[in-house]
Amino acid sequence: MPKHVSVIVPVHNAAQWIAACMEQLLAQRRPPDEIIFVDDASTDDTVQRCSFWQERYPCVRIIQLCANSGPGIARNAGIAACRSPFLVFMDVDDRLSPHFLSRLYDCITQNALDAAVCGIDVITPTSSRKLLPAAACDSASLLRRTILLYAPVNKIYRTNFLRDELIRFSRCRIGEDMAFAVKLCSRSPRMGGVPEALYQYVRRPGSLSGTLRLRHEIFAALDDLHLFLRRTASPPRLFSVYRRLCLLHGLYYPLRLLLRRRRSVSLVRLGRELHFYLAATLRKIRESYER
């Protein structure tokens, strides 16, 4: 008998967060029918902590990846393994309103949608910021609100829509959520919004997006997105979005990070990095005009 909602949780060396994650999922007004922990080759006792809950709750499943590949690949494994018509992603160290699943599930089922998005509360060590979608949000409006769009975790998806449209995360450790979100919007999904902040997204120091040595992987995400837009014959407006993303993620964000760390980076390396990002971004933009 098919289940209704699966929650996919990628985990890597996340033993300290498993119990709190499970407690939040079990406290949902509409509990998940399936919880899939995808272990991204942890070296601590993450799998053992997940197994503890699996022994007590039949809805818990564990998938173990052979090599550490990042959250995108882990989420792809979850999409492939999902047994429910609807799926949700959750980051193991984030927090949920008890109404998170019930509100999103009601929105997507009652309106026959392909995806539904709720508001998100972005938590940093020094601040908190709430971002809310309109009840009648669509892909075009979301493309203008990048935090609401890029976060894969404040949404519920129709599983077969992701599978049929071949919407997957890029094989890289940074920018994979951005590429996934634009792929989703490019396929014109029927979308709706729940204008409540039901998901608390916790930004912690030292996240992947702020790591200088991994920033080069952003171009793998941009390449993957470009290939997807070409393969699906997306309209010109999506290529304009792609070019804007090249400037934003391939140039603006890396330069801001480099300038913030200029005192800890030698002038030689700073010059090389600046040249790399400028040349790579201009090349991506030029390629996007070629047919």
Residue 273, token pair as written in the block: 């990095």
Q: What is the CA radius of gyration of the chain?
A: 19
Is 254 within 8 Å of 273 (Cβ atoms)? Answer: yes
C-alpha–C-alpha distance, residues 109 and 86, integer Å: 9
Higher pLDDT, 96 or 211: 96
Q: Report helix angle 218-231 to 267-289, nearest 10.
A: 0
User: Residue with structure tokens 């998806």?
Assistant: 157
Q: What pLDDT is attached to residue 75?
A: 98
pLDDT tier at 213, thresholds 50, 70, 90: low
Is 41 within 8 Å of 70 (Cβ atoms)? Answer: no
Triad 72, 273, 289: Cα angle to 5°:
65
Q: What pLDDT is attached to residue 255?
A: 86
Q: What pLDDT is attached to residue 124?
A: 84
Q: In this model, does residue 211 exceed pLDDT 70?
A: no
Residue 135 CB-half CA count within 13 A: 4
Residue 276 CB-half CA count within 13 A: 15
Q: Per-residue pLDDT tens for 176-203?
A: 999 999 999 999 999 999 999 999 988 7
Going from the N-terminus, what domains does the chain have, and what CATH number goes with each? 5-202 (3.90.550.10), 208-289 (no CATH)
Q: Per-residue pLDDT tens for 18-43?
A: 999 999 999 999 999 999 999 999 99
pLDDT tier at 14, thresholds 50, 70, 90: very high
User: Residue with structure tokens 């609100």?
Assistant: 145
Q: What share of the chain is helix, strand, coil (3-state, %, to 5)?
A: 50, 20, 30
Q: Per-residue pLDDT tens for 98-142?
A: 999 999 999 999 999 999 999 999 988 888 889 999 888 888 888
Is 170 within 8 Å of 245 (Cβ atoms)? Answer: no
Count other Cβ atoms within 10 Å, centred on residue 114.
21
User: Residue with structure tokens 């040249």?
Assistant: 275
Q: Per-residue pLDDT tens for 57-86?
A: 999 999 999 999 999 999 999 999 999 999
Torsion 6-10-13-16 (CA) sign: negative
Q: What pLDDT is attached to residue 1?
A: 41
C-alpha–C-alpha distance, residues 147 and 103, integer Å: 20
Residue 123 CB-half CA count within 13 A: 11
**DSSP type of residue 189:** -
What stretch of H or E contains 166? none
